[in-house]
Amino acid sequence: MGRYRKELFENFQDENFNPDTRYELAYKRVKRIKGFYVHALVYVLVNAFIIISTFNRSAIGSEVFFKWETFSTALFWGIGLLAHGLSVFGRDLFFGSDWEERKIKEFMDEDKKQKWE
């Protein structure tokens, strides 16, 4: 976990931490996650509508369906959705918890072996 998130987690687990504050933090996190899921649902519905309506207007196998304009909204909005997901779930989604600490230890161990060999 990042330093800030680790500190927040430790404070969250501390029994001296105010229960009202713990509730507020949990409530805000749930609202952020819910906001992301609503965003993802709207993304799927709107882009499905755009793609299906374009497909219905064009003849099957037509070049009209495979134009840039058909998929550009989904692409750019998808990039925004990815950024929203990373802001909600954090970078731990890809690197896992304590990734930085494990990597630093790994590099330190490599340097230690190289100096003594």
40-52 residue pLDDT tens? 999 999 999 988 8
More confident residue, 57 or 33: 33
What pLDDT shows up at residue 79?
A: 94
pLDDT at 117 over 80: no
Rg (CA), the chain: 23
Q: Is the pTM of this model over 0.75?
A: no
More confident residue, 89 or 3: 89
What pLDDT shows up at residue 51?
A: 84
- The residues, any chain, with a CB within 8 Å of residue 70's CB and separated by 6 or more, are 50, 51, 54, 64
Taking each helix axis from N to C end, the angle separating 19-57 and 3-13, rounded to the nearest 10 degrees, works out to 130
Question: What are the E-state strand segments in the chain?
Answer: none
User: Cβ of 2: how many Cβ atoms within 10 Å?
Assistant: 15
79-89 residue pLDDT tens? 999 999 988 88
